[in-house]
């Protein structure tokens, strides 16, 4: 099995692999086998979310890998996320239990608040939505402090080992740190050479919070991109990345992942291709030199692709402004 490096989470001391596997946008019919293959290929960090709609199938793949003796439960690091419809304190415990039931596990290693805003409750058996029938975003008054208290109680109960946040900025994190009894272990953000968020990453890590990157391949991940970013070349085909890949006899995905890991940022690439699963994991030996890193750093474009705009989510919401 491919060896992996880890970073240590606070306050638990749990080890988080620097390279894991993402589960978004995998068709439900394929998910169980894809997850099984990913674990067999050596992945131990599985990043999932209720809103992806395939949690139960992820759980099937995980349980099959455990049953076949490929891995022990304690060797896996499983992530779940609280969707916006369930921030109200009376819903948190039941939604976490739903994730545990979907995964078929007694505890979850890391549970994140998916986005820092709350929307109207919906029946979790229905497809999740951020808008009503009129395509309007309906925000509700569900203080994050109350949501966080519920998550802390679930840590106390042993159902969650680590709690964290996703898509938060410094101000929101600073506020959370002012009242949290159990501080967030992780911040998960969009992170790639076109959106490096260096100041955010540096400050977050100074607070003892580790960073997980999603969309490490940038605009190569998204079918649609926000207005104003159409001119940016597909990051996987960018001449700078292609040249570095040729120099080190790598594929461009490996270069992008190695760049992030070099900055001690955890990556969770997704692929359904078994050979690509293996090559994504096989980056421990990659040593990008200072010239490589400087060239990749120079691609910064402050380009956020997972943003709330009409062409993507159907409404405008300047969450990240």
Distance CA 43, CA 46 (A): 7
Q: How far is CA 6 from CA 29, 34, 167, 259, 264, in A?
A: 31, 23, 22, 16, 9
Q: Which DSSP category does 158 fall into?
A: T
User: 260 with 191: CB under 8 angstroms?
Assistant: yes
User: 305 with 215: CB under 8 angstroms?
Assistant: yes
Closest alpha carbon to 88 in 164, 141, 151: 141
Identified catalytic residue from 36, 52, 103, 111:
52
Q: Which DSSP category does 160 fall into?
A: E
Active site residue 121: no
Q: How far is CA 90 from CA 19, 146, 150, 264, in A?
A: 35, 10, 9, 36
Token pair of 144 as six digits: 């994050």
Distance, CA of 157 to chain centre? 24
Side by side, which strands form the sheet with 108-113?
Answer: 21-22, 45-47, 77-82, 108-113, 160-166, 186-190, 210-214, 266-267
Q: Which DSSP category does 167 fall into?
A: S
Distance CA 88, CA 229 (A): 35
User: 301 with 232: CB under 8 angstroms?
Assistant: yes
Could you tell me the sign of the dihedral formed by the alpha carbons of 241, 244, 246, 252, in that order?
A: negative
Which residue in this structure is represented by tokens 């690091």?
Answer: 77
At residue 63, φ and ψ (nearest 5 deg) are -65, -35
114 is in an annotated binding site: yes
Catalytic residues: 52
Going by the annotation, the residues of the binding site for substrate are 114
Going by the annotation, the residues of the binding site are 114
């Amino acid at each position: 099995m491919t060896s992996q490096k880890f970073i240590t989470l606070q306050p638990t001391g749990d080890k988080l692999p620097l390279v894991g596997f993402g589960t978004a946008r995998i068709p439900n019919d394929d998910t169980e086998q894809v997850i099984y293959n990913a674990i067999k290929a050596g992945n131990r960090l599985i990043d999932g979310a209720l809103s992806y709609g395939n949690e139960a199938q992820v759980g099937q793949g995980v349980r099959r890998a455990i049953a076949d003796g490929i891995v022990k439960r304690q060797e896996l690091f499983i992530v779940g996320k609280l969707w916006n419809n369930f921030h109200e304190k009376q819903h948190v415990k039941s939604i976490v239990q739903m994730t545990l039931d979907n995964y078929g596990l007694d505890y979850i290693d890391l549970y994140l608040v998916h986005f820092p805003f709350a929307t109207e409750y919906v029946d979790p058996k229905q497809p999740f939505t951020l808008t009503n029938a009129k395509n309007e975003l309906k925000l509700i008054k569900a203080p994050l402090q109350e949501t966080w208290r519920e998550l802390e109680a679930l840590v106390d109960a042993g159902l969650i080992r680590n709690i964290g946040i996703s898509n938060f900025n410094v101000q929101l994190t600073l506020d959370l740190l002012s009242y949290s009894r159990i501080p967030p272990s992780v911040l998960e953000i969009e992170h790639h050479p076109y959106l490096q968020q260096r100041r955010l990453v540096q400050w977050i890590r100074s607070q003892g919070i580790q960073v997980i990157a999603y969309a490490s391949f940038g605009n190569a991940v998204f079918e649609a991109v926000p207005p104003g970013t159409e001119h940016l070349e597909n990051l996987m085909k960018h001449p700078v990345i292609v040249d570095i890949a040729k120099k080190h006899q790598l594929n461009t995905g490996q270069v992008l992942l190695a760049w992030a890991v070099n900055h001690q940022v955890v990556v969770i690439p997704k692929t359904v291709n078994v050979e690509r699963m293996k090559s994504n994991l096989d980056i421990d030996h990659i040593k990008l030199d200072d010239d490589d890193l400087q060239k990749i750093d120079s691609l910064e474009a402050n380009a956020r692709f997972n943003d709330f705009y009409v062409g993507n989510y159907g409404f405008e919401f300047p969450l990240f402004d």
